[in-house]
Amino acid sequence: MAAKKTLKVRQTGSPIRRPKEQHDTLKGLGLNKVGRTRELEDTPAIRGMIRKVSHMVEIVEE
């Protein structure tokens, strides 16, 4: 079985004074503090969530 592809995502911005939807999207990605990093499965749904909050996260190169 092939290894699942993953993305490493780091939160770079604060959700303060942002719409509740964006705050909820960060929570859905498992991020809630600036500087926190998560390794997530590379799926279209995750890519869409990252795109929605792209101004507050960055994809970390490995």
What domain count does the chain have?
Answer: 1
With a CB cutoff of 8 Å and minimum separation 6, the contacts of 31 are 9, 11, 38, 57
pLDDT at 19: 97
The confidence score (pLDDT) of residue 62 equals 67
pTM above 0.85, yes or no: yes
Range of the structural domain that residue 12 is part of: 6-60
Considering the domain boundaries, does residue 25 fall inside one? yes
Does 1 map to a domain? Answer: no
pLDDT digits (tens, 9 = 90+) for 25-58: 999 999 999 999 999 999 999 999 999 999 999 9
Q: What is the pLDDT of residue 42?
A: 94
pLDDT bin (cut points 50, 70, 90) of residue 4 is: confident
